[in-house]
Amino acid sequence: MKQKTHKGMAKRVKVTGSGKLRREQVNRRHLMESKPSKRTRRLKGTVDVHKSDQKRVKRLLGRA
């Protein structure tokens, strides 16, 4: 049987050209009024998926 991509993970993680896994940072979706601007600026941009999660994420994306 053909392996399918886990669509929930595919929407959260992007694979770069060199094969690294990048994700958006958490805590920037709602209830923004109560969070300091300093904190929301710090959470901008993407970060690498943690080393301990990479094997699992790659398997869910069909890249293991």
Say what the pTM is: 0.85
For residue 16, the enclosing domain spans 7-60
Is 1 inside a domain boundary? no
Is 15 inside a domain boundary? yes
Residue written as token pair 């959260």: 12
- Position 64 pLDDT exceeds 90: no
pLDDT tens digits for range 10-30: 999 999 999 999 999 999 999
What is the predicted pLDDT for the residue at 46?
97
Is 30 inside a domain boundary? yes
Counting Cβ atoms within 10 Å, is residue 13 exposed (0-12), middle (13-18) or buried (19+)? buried
pLDDT tens digits for range 19-60: 999 999 999 999 999 999 999 999 999 999 999 999 999 999
Number of domains in the chain: 1
